[in-house]
Every structure is written in C-alpha cells, then in structure tokens.
Chains A and B, each alone.
Chain A
Amino acid sequence: MLLAILVSNSAGNILLERFNGIPSEERLHWRTFMVKLGADNLKGARNEELFVASQKSVYIVYTVLGGVCIYIVGKDDYDELALTEVMFVITSSIKDACGKSPSERLFLDKYGKICLCLDEIVWQGILENTEKERIKRLIGLKPPNPTES
C-alpha cells in the first residue's frame, strides 16, 4: 500500500497531500515527520537525487524537484525499490505537466493537471500507471498510443 504522497515547498509548507489508509488524526504526525526529514537532509541536494529512509515497517523515498520536495511513503509490497519506481513516474509526469522541473509557482500554476496525473498514477494506494507518455494522454482522456501496450 502506498500510504502517502506529499509535496511541499522548500520551506516545508504542504502544497499537496494524499493519504491512503492513514487515519486523519495520524496525518499531522506524518506531515511533521516528513517535513523534518526533508529539512534535515534535502538542503543542498541535487535535483531528483533520491533519498531513502525507513521507519518501523514503512519506507520513505523523497527527493527535490526544482522548487518542491516530494515524499512518498509505502509499506508491504511498496518497499524502497517499488517506491523508487513510483517516484520516477511522479517526477517525470510533473516535469511533463510543467514543461521542466517546476518552481513552486509553476507547480501551483499547473496544479489541476498535476492532480490528474497523480490520479492516474496512484489509485487509493495502488500503483496504476507507470509511463509518462501514457499518463499524458490519459489525463486528456485520450487512449494510449496503440504502439505501446
């Protein structure tokens, strides 16, 4: 299960959060935990450099993309390697939606489109789509290219 996807700006303000199977009273803990993780480790990190951590039975993969920080939390089947895969899809789709690595402003400008991308990638905690070309077409309600299967 993919427990959470969080996007924050570099100052740690949440821009977007999607939780799956985490009770609302626990969400604040997660938010604080991840923002702290980012503050401790992401300063000076290269663009799209992946960071990884584990906390009890969950795994966290996080990175910097332009002016935003992205955190993904998973457990069971979604271990650090599966999360890396998910992270790759998310970063490439966001770059695709924004045309480049986004600043915070650009990310917010393309917010609607990014929400659609995430909706195609993760569905209630389960990974659904993994290719950015396909996602790009799906968010415009276009069928995937017949050449790819």
Chain B
Amino acid sequence: MAQPLVKKDDDRDDEADYSPFLGIEKGAVLQEARVFNDPQLDPRRCSQVITKLLYLLNQGETFTKVEATEVFFAVTKLFQSKDIGLRRMVYVMIKELSPSADEVIIVTSSLMKDMTSKTDMYRANAIRVLCRITDGTLLTQIERYLKQAIVDKNPVVASAALVSGIHLLQTNPEIVKRWSNEVQEAVQSRAALVQFHALALLHQIRQNDRLAVNKLVSSLTKGSVRSPLAQCLLIRYTSQVIRESANTQAGDRPFYDFLEGCLRHKAEMVIFEAARAITELNGVTSRELTPAITVLQLFLSSSKPVLRFAAVRTLNKVAMTHPMAVTNCNIDMESLISDQNRSIATLAITTLLKTGNESSVDRLMKQITNFMSDIADEFKIVVVEAIRSLCLKFPLKHRSLMNFLSNILREEGGFEYKKAIVDSIVILIRDIPEAKETGLLHLCEFIEDCEFTYLSTQILHFLGIEGPKTSDPNKYIRYIYNRVHLENATVRAAAVSTLAKFGAMVDTLKPRIFVLLRRCLFDNDDEVRDRATLYLNTLGGDGTVVQTSDDVKEFLFGSLDIPLVNLENSLKNYEPSEESFDINSVPREVKTKPLAEKKAPGKKPTGLGAPPAGPPSTVDAYEKLLSSIPEFANFGKLFKSSAPAELTEAETEYAVNVVKHIFDGHVVFQYNCTNTIPEQLLENVTVIVDASEAEEFAEVASKPLRSLPYDSPGQTFVAFEKPEGIPAVGKFSNMLRFIVKEVDPSTGEAEDDGVEDEYQLEELEVVAADYMLKVGVSNFRNAWESMGADCERVDEYGLGPRESLAEAVNAVIDLLGMQPCEGTEVVPNNSRSHTCLLSGVYIGNIKVLVRLQFGLDGPKDVAMKLAVRSEDEAVSDAIHEIVASG
C-alpha cells in the first residue's frame, strides 16, 4: 500500500522544502496507474494516482501516443466505481488526455449514460467531457440532449451545455446554429451565469446577421441583465451596433443613453467598459466624452492597481485623438509617474507627453529623466517614441528634446532601445531642419562608442546622405574615418562608402577623401578594399577638384527602386544563358500576403514568441503558377495580380474568391474554390463567365478543376483577351458549375454517380486600378521635382457630399489603386483640408505621381484638386479620366 498522498496534518505545511511530488517520475506513475485495472478498486488510491498524472501534465510533461492510450483505457475502467470524488477526477483526466477519434468510442456509452442520468452533476460533467472529445458524427447523436440541457432548470447543466456550444461553434457551426431558439430562451434565464453564457453564444451564432444583433441589443438594453459580466458583453455588442449603424445625422446617437447609464452601474467592471465604449465611438463629441472621462479620472486615484492601469490605458488612447479632453486629468496622471507599477507609470508619462502644452515640456522632461533610470527597456522604448511625437508637435523644443535623446543614448541599454533612440533622432533630423546639425553630431558621437554593428552602419549611411548637405561637411570626416581604423569589417566598409559620398557630393573635399580612400586599399578585408578601389576608379578626377558626373553618382549611390526580395527571387530563377539578366524584368510590386497564409490554422497571434516569418513572394508564386499552365504560357510577362476578392458570403457551402491577373493583352481570372461540405465531392469544377457587360474582352481559354474534395482548396481559371496595352474595364457575372457526388462520411468514399449542379457567384469587375501597381517612393518631393512638369495635368473636381474627409481620401486612393506615400493617407480628425501623395506604375511600366488636395466646401461637400505627373502625358490624362468617370 502506498503512502497516502494527502496529509491531514496541516501543521506540517511549514516544511515547505518537502514536496509530496518530490522525485516524481513519469514511468513510475504510469506503472502505478495499473491500479485502475484492479478488480477491487480503491477510490482513494486511484484519486491519488490521477493527481500525480495531472501534476505531470500540468508541469508541461507529455505522454507518447502509446502511453496516453494505455492510461486512457485504464481510466475508462474507473466508471465502474460509484465513488463521487473519483468520478469527478475521471472527468478531468479524460479531458486532459483528449483521446483520439478511434479511442473515444470506449467511453461514449458511459458518458451517454451519465448525460441522461438523474444526477444533475453527472449530466453537466458528461456534457463537458463529451463535447471536448466529440466529433461531428457523435455530435448529431447527442444533439437532442444538448438542446434539452441548454434549457435545463439546473443552471450548472445549462451553463455546461452553453459553454460547450461556444466551443463547438468553432468546429461544427452548422449544428450549433440550429440551437438558437433554446439559446434565446436561456438568455432570459434568471441565473446570472446562464444568461452570461447564453448571451455570448447567441451573439456568436448571429454575429453575421446585423439585424438580429441589433434586435438582441435593443431588447436587452431595455430589460434587465443580471450579472456584471453579461452587462459588459452587452456594452460591447451595443458599441458594435452603434459602429455599424454609422449614424451621421446630428442629434443623439442611438444607445448612447444606455452607455451613459452604465457609467452609474455599481460594478466597476461595467462602469469601465461603458467608459471605454464611449471613448471609442466614431467621431465622439466632447459632450459625449465628458462623463466617461470623469469616471476614468476617478479610477486614476483608485487604490486598486488594475483600475488605475485600465483607466490610464484608456486615457492614453483618448489622448491620441482628443488630447484636450484629457487635460483635466493631467494632475492625477502626474502623480502616477511615481506609481510602483511601471506599466502604469509609463502609460501616465506617455499620455502626459501627448496632452502637455509647449510650456510644460521642460518640467515634464525633468520628471522623465529621473524616471528613466528605473524602468525596463521595453518601457523606455515607449517613452522614446512619445518624445519623438512630442518633438514633431513642438519643433521649437527640439533643442531640449534632442539633448534628452542624446543623453539617454549614452546610457546603458539593449539594441531595441538604442535603435528606437537612433530612429527618433534620424526622424527629427529629417523633419526639423534646425535640428539637423546638432542631431548629426549626436549620432557621430554615438558611433564613436557604439557596440551594435547594425546601428553603426545605418548611421554611417545616413551621414553620407545628410552630411554633405550641411554648411560644414568637413567636421564629420574625422568621425567617419576613425571607424575605418577602429571597427569590424562591416562597419569599415560602410565608412568607406560614406567617405566616398562626401567625395562625390563635395568637390572641394575630394582630394583629401582620395588620400583617405587610398589608405583603405591596404585593408585586410576584401570588401573594404573592393569598395575603395571602385570609388577611386569611378569618382573621377584622380584626386583633383572636379565634379563627379551625375551618371556616376546615380550608379554609385542612386536608389535601387526594386524590392530586394523580388530581385533575389528573380536572380534565383534566372538560368545562365546567352541572354544576360535584365534588371527591368524584376517585378516592382510590394508583396501582399497570399490567401493561403491568411487562412492558415492557428492564426491567432499570441503576442510573445518569435515574429512570423516574412510572407513568401505572391507575385512570384502566381507567376510560376500561371507559366506552368500551357494555355497561359504565351501571355507574356505578368503585370499585376490583384488581392483576392470574395465572390461568396461568409460561411456558405462553397467559398470562392477571385484573383485578377493582368497581362499586356490578356486578363486571367483565378477562382480559388473551397468546398465546405464534408459529405460532398465536387468534380469538373468550372466557372461560367458572362462578359456581356465587358465589351472589349473575349474569352480565350478556361481551365477546369478536376476534383474539389472537402476542405482542400483548388483553382480553376478563365482567360480573356483584351486590346493590347489598353486599360479596358468591364463587369463579369459568374456561375460555378460542377458535378456533385455524395461522400460517405464514415469511409470517406464518394459514390460513382454524380449530379450536375450550379451555384451563383457574385459579380466581379475589372477596374482602372487593376492597371496600376502600388509602388512607393521614399522621398516624394524629390521624385516629384525630378519628374518635372512636362507631362503634368492639373484639374479640380467636386466630389459632392461625403461622410467625412477621410472617407473621400480613401475612396480616391481605392479608385486609383496607388501607393500612399509618407503616411499621407491618414487624415487627422476634424481637419478641413488635407493633402495626399500617391505613387504607382501604370501598365506599360510608366511611373506616375499624384498630388491630391482636398478641402471641405460647406458642411459636407468635398472639393479636390488633382495634379498628376508621369513619364507620358497620355497616362496623366488617363488618370484624370479615371477620376472623372469614377
């Protein structure tokens, strides 16, 4: 007989060193689990063994398949025991082991028996276990009991069934959706938790039905909700309804009174939820904000750290859009700077930085300096970013803020922190001309003693761009040349390039730079020597004061306006032959995420952990895919592939989306199809396209999909010819046609005979934006000026009444399909005018730049001035035509 695991004598719990699980070992516990097979079960001993197994599992220990199966079979024997404590342990153990589908059958009958038992608690637990281990087929068998359980008078049984429903909705939505009447009834339950779970499930069932959610919210906001948790859910759903109703009329917002009423609820959780919902309302007015800010202000001085944290976090968000509304809380927040919880202190500081005015900056900086020394790097980064924004807001304060940044740059810190500071200084130098020279000197001093190669090379590169343009470029040379002596090869090579830039840009410095570069010819690293040789041979003048030609500058230092990933892929695909590699053949489009990646399972981000790997090249993948299909092989080079557009609604039988591939003289539609019905196999899947509303297009080829089994996506293609080089547009209606065969779910085999069927899809359009590639430029002003005004076209347009300026800006961006530059797609709240800069490449490889100036004309009317520059005036005209006809 083993020693009893649980010691009755609590006095002994002071002996903290001794653990009842000391020396526990998986193998030994698995041996012990054989007691489950004893004909005379000892419930107490069995419970102890289960506890040990749970301890192992909860420590992150894993069982092999064989071990898990063995334990599982043994545990199922314990259903023979009538001991209640043991039975409860058995339920937990089965859930923890989550047996595989072929093993489940062993316990199904025992659990079914418990599920129909007269003992409520057996019912509740059996439901939870069954739902955890069940699959679709078993679920249909027990569905009747689950529906009954949802409206069971015992709240524990009802809750168990409802929470099961929430989980099962992920795997078997079509079954759970049939329960909505019962769930609806449970929402009216008098038991608080039942109501909470029922509300959550009902909302999930109906979340795609806007009208139903609206009705649910309307009825519940009038009635009584019993628990604070349910009330919080209701507030969230209410704000969703408000958001979707997009009320633009003046006057009271629907449900605002409800939210405001919740601010007086007795539970803090509800008050906070309501306050947050109000602050997040679209276009919230200061009158609406005031009561919410008032309660949040009270929370700031709460004794509970969680409430202080929640309040300051919300105010921090509000400060981004309505800084004035938060200023009343500044005094409370200043006292939070010394809060023991560093998360709260950091949030308070960054909020104050957003709401402070110019005169309070110096005082605030003093407080922050004391604070910085005792917080971790991750908080410091947040503060640095806030200081950067503050400096951009009050450029006159650049001196003290830049000094602060340079001081913290000299202190100890990790790479991310240092990078954040360097990035901030670089941004300030770019945006505040007066800050340039001091900023560059701060960076020069930093690289004297910088332990991070990456940062040193970045700064050297930046010095090469900005340094030659300063009034006295001479003074930076010493710092740069020192790197050539004191650093590793990577930094030395970067320093050589920077020196060469100074030589190329500042003619008077050239002779002296040549002397320095010649010394680098004897470096022991070949990259450093190669660079020095290259520059010495190309800069020209052999060390005399002459100008370096523009071609050479462009060759040496010009920007390579091709995404490097694309270049890498094209080089990998290039096969050595007589024909030399053509850099113009490299696709220029910035990658978007492919569909397959988006739908990948386990997509929930979890905050920590390694960052996801960069998306693989879609353009490249599409290009490969299309060139592998003989029918499309002679269409030439793929110009652009659109993002997938859905042609079916969410959660329909067949999910289809389309990708438009644009070639010079052809368009190929790639239909990505997914069959979501396990009992069906689709064969010979095609899309019948009616192009009667697309006159310039003629169908030339169609590639059917041979077979489309359940849940494994496939593609079918249809190709059209169009006039070469012309941005033809049109509307296409689509019908999915296929042969459907029944599949036996138990064997997975399809019947031999099938029936032809059709399924209507939504229309798709080829629009002008499909002929435009989103290609950004790093410096719009430079690009605009170097493009010149030769092919410029300017005109003004009235866009009529619009919901907001931001909506108008987005509509034009979408219409043109161009890449917004320098963050100009974001329209600040309440602004009456806005300038947006766009760039792109039009079909035929023509670069296009667009400058849009918007203004509000009257209360809602938006007027727009459109200036287009491109390499071809016909293209400039075409852009105007797109806008005029859009």
Residues in A lying within 8 Å of B, measured CB to CB = 1, 3, 14-18, 21-23, 25-27, 29-31, 33, 40-41, 49-58, 61, 67, 75, 77, 79-85, 99, 102-106, 108-112, 115-116, 119, 123-124, 126-130, 134, 138-144, 149
**With an 8 A cutoff between CB atoms, is B588 at the interface?**
no
- Asked if A112 and B605 make an inter-chain contact with CB atoms under 8 angstroms apart, the answer reads no
**With an 8 A cutoff between CB atoms, is B310 at the interface?**
yes
**With an 8 A cutoff between CB atoms, is B502 at the interface?**
no
Q: Which residues, 305 to 329 on B, are CB-close (under 8 Å) to A?
A: 305-307, 309-310, 313
Interface string of B1-28 (1 = CB under 8 A from A): 0000111001011111011110000000
Task: With both chains docked as a complex, state the minimum distance between the C-beta of B856 and any C-beta of chain A, in angstroms.
Answer: 35
- Asked if B92 and A81 make an inter-chain contact with CB atoms under 8 angstroms apart, the answer reads no
- Asked if B125 and A126 make an inter-chain contact with CB atoms under 8 angstroms apart, the answer reads no
- Asked if B87 and A58 make an inter-chain contact with CB atoms under 8 angstroms apart, the answer reads no
- Asked if B607 and A55 make an inter-chain contact with CB atoms under 8 angstroms apart, the answer reads yes
- Asked if A21 and B606 make an inter-chain contact with CB atoms under 8 angstroms apart, the answer reads yes
Q: Kindly state the separation between the CA atoms of A128 and B157 in the bound complex, as whole angstroms.
A: 12
Given A26-B608, A138-B156, CB of A82 within 8 Å of CB of B89: no
- Asked if B607 and A119 make an inter-chain contact with CB atoms under 8 angstroms apart, the answer reads no
**With an 8 A cutoff between CB atoms, is B193 at the interface?**
yes
- Asked if A149 and B608 make an inter-chain contact with CB atoms under 8 angstroms apart, the answer reads no
**With an 8 A cutoff between CB atoms, is B163 at the interface?**
yes
- Asked if B608 and A55 make an inter-chain contact with CB atoms under 8 angstroms apart, the answer reads yes
From B10, B13, B197, B232, residue with most partner A Cβ within 10 Å: B13
Contact of A105 among B15, B160, B192, B304 (CB under 8 A): B15
- Asked if B92 and A108 make an inter-chain contact with CB atoms under 8 angstroms apart, the answer reads no
- Asked if B609 and A52 make an inter-chain contact with CB atoms under 8 angstroms apart, the answer reads no
Contact partners of B268 in chain A: CB under 8 A: 81
Interface SS of A by simple majority: mixed
Task: With both chains docked as a complex, state the minimum distance between the C-beta of B317 and any C-beta of chain A, in angstroms.
Answer: 12
Q: Chain A residue with minimal CB distance to B192?
A: A149
From B89, B160, B190, residue with most partner A Cβ within 10 Å: B89
- Asked if B58 and A115 make an inter-chain contact with CB atoms under 8 angstroms apart, the answer reads yes
Please tell me the number of chain B residues within 8 Å of chain A, measured between CB atoms: 77
- Asked if A142 and B121 make an inter-chain contact with CB atoms under 8 angstroms apart, the answer reads yes
- Asked if B13 and A103 make an inter-chain contact with CB atoms under 8 angstroms apart, the answer reads yes
- Asked if B156 and A144 make an inter-chain contact with CB atoms under 8 angstroms apart, the answer reads yes
Stretch of B47-55, B362-370, B550-558 with 4 or more beta carbons under 8 angstroms from chain A: B47-55
Q: Kindly state the separation between the CA atoms of A67 and B7 in the bound complex, as whole angstroms.
A: 18
> A17-B60, A77-B233, A126-B167 provided; 12 other pairs, C-beta below 8 A?
A17-B58, A26-B606, A26-B609, A50-B305, A53-B341, A56-B607, A58-B607, A111-B21, A123-B167, A126-B163, A138-B124, A141-B88
Contact of A140 among B15, B84, B192 (CB under 8 A): B84
Q: Kindly state the separation between the CA atoms of A140 and B18 in the bound complex, as whole angstroms.
A: 28
Contact partners of A140 in chain B: CB under 8 A: 84-85, 88
- Asked if B156 and A52 make an inter-chain contact with CB atoms under 8 angstroms apart, the answer reads no
Q: Which residues, 105 to 161 on B, are CB-close (under 8 Å) to A?
A: 119-122, 124-125, 128, 132, 154-156, 159-160
- Asked if A116 and B13 make an inter-chain contact with CB atoms under 8 angstroms apart, the answer reads no
Interface string of B148-180 (1 = CB under 8 A from A): 000000111001100100110000000000000
Task: With both chains docked as a complex, state the minimum distance between the C-beta of A18 and any C-beta of chain B, in angstroms.
Answer: 7
Contact partners of B128 in chain A: CB under 8 A: 123
- Asked if A14 and B306 make an inter-chain contact with CB atoms under 8 angstroms apart, the answer reads no
Contact partners of B55 in chain A: CB under 8 A: 16, 108, 111
- Asked if B606 and A22 make an inter-chain contact with CB atoms under 8 angstroms apart, the answer reads yes
- Asked if A54 and B313 make an inter-chain contact with CB atoms under 8 angstroms apart, the answer reads yes
Contact partners of A21 in chain B: CB under 8 A: 604, 606
Closest 8 CB pairs of A and B: A112-B51, A56-B607, A26-B609, A106-B13, A141-B121, A58-B607, A149-B191, A16-B58
Contact of A130 among B20, B87, B193, B273 (CB under 8 A): B193
- Asked if A124 and B167 make an inter-chain contact with CB atoms under 8 angstroms apart, the answer reads yes
- Asked if B272 and A149 make an inter-chain contact with CB atoms under 8 angstroms apart, the answer reads no
Q: Chain A residue with minimal CB distance to B85?
A: A140
Given A26-B609, A33-B608, CB of A149 within 8 Å of CB of B190: yes
Task: With both chains docked as a complex, state the minimum distance between the C-beta of A108 and any C-beta of chain B, in angstroms.
Answer: 5
Contact partners of A128 in chain B: CB under 8 A: 159-160, 163, 193, 197
Contact of B269 among A30, A85, A123 (CB under 8 A): A85
Contact partners of B159 in chain A: CB under 8 A: 128-129
- Asked if B84 and A141 make an inter-chain contact with CB atoms under 8 angstroms apart, the answer reads yes
